[in-house]
Structure 1
Amino acid sequence: MRLRRLLPVLGLLAWTGCAAAQESSPPRDAAGAWELALDGSFRRCGLTLAAEAGPVGQALRFPAGCRRALPVVNGLAGWRQDGELIQLLDREGQPVLAFASPEGEGPRSAESLGGERYSLAQGGVRPAVPDVPLVTPAALSTLPSARETLRDGLAVAPATAAGVTGLYTLDRFVEKDVCRVRLKADGAQVQEDCRDPGLALFDPTAWHYEAGRLVLVARRGHSVELIPVGEGRWRRDPEIGTTFVLRRVEP
């Protein structure tokens, strides 16, 4: 008799334990491929929210190029799900960015402590703000600012995006013409016989030009910004790491 009376209680406890376990684990659809983007810019990065445990929360993975494209990822060590909230965590397990579910369609949105707004879209779907034509109307009509014009002495940025298109070679600190990339109106393409593993791995497939800045976008989504340093010549901004200079070799 006692056993019969205890069975409903044990069943209720088992059900409660299962329900608590389900609530404490992240939803299955949260793990997978996502894209993090800085609102109002071309800077974006592909993230993998892994299902397995990481140093804090669940494991978080991203390409090395993301550290330059989006410096905020340098402080990330994991992620977790808190109800409908997706949190990207620092090394202490504290949320750096907390993305709530959007109202209707569209990416999740979060604001950093520095006041920057970021978007998080699932499955590599690009957020609406950076989703712009490769050659923007502003690039066709806007001259570079005085700050951009004088940044490198007499270097002047092209007045239009049409002035940027053409064939460029990558010059390293010692070697010249180690790899060539063509910037076309509909995208970017690394040419055959590229002898630079860095650019081949970056593999730019798109580009943007606006307000005197040239932005190369990699196949995986991260990007690098370049500023003019002379007629037909561009270098990475900021100038960090190895030398990265593009030089036009064809009008």
Structure 2
Amino acid sequence: MTHLRVGAWTIVAALVAVTAPAQAQDATTLKKDMVGQWELSTTERSKTCVVTLKGDAAGHASKLELEPACKTALPFTKDITAWSVKGLDIVRLQDATGESVIDFTEVEAGIFEGLRQGEGVYILQNLAAARSMAKSMDQMIGDWAMVRGNGEPVCTLVLTNTEAGPDNFQVFLKSKCDAAITQFNPTQWRLERGQIILMSKAGEAWQFEADDNAQWRRVPDTADPLIMLRQ
């Protein structure tokens, strides 16, 4: 039995020896990749600020700069004085005592999410990519036709940039619509992670994703899909 125990611990030790350098490298790579300009925002960018993460040491963390508008747009940022990588994949914006103000984890390439209890989810995204997304969102504003997979028109709707609550915008049905659309009756929309999200007063949500033909198809796909086309 003693030999079995020794053998087991030998295997565990060997695994630790093999995996530890790789894990350390992951954290080191993440820290290196995070240096640069980032946009900190609410989920749909109704409130934004620019954060510059630096490679210079600040005690056990690294230095950063917040643009002056941050404290007004996102009041909790007034407590942020430095940043660090915790564990393998947590990007921490921390206060002067080293305590977390908000922790982020990567949910997509270059996009990190963090939750503040009682406030909601915030996004940390590469600044250039975030501004490209903003441009994309501007291109969403205007008239859209909704059609079936066979091309049959079922509705015309208007996506606006008029705010309708946190991170959402107003949408209007412009013409007489198919019964299913009228019953759903979308009143708000947002662009989230590459999807157009339509939301009803009842809280129901429909998601549309862009396909290879520059159309937006409702997902999950069905035998009789709904497609949104820019007018």
Q: Point out the structure with the larger helix share.
A: 2
Q: Relative contact order: is structure 1 or structure 2 higher (C-alpha 8 Å, sep ≥ 6)?
A: 1
Q: TM-score, normalised by structure 2?
A: 0.45
The structure carrying a bigger strand percent of its residues is: 2
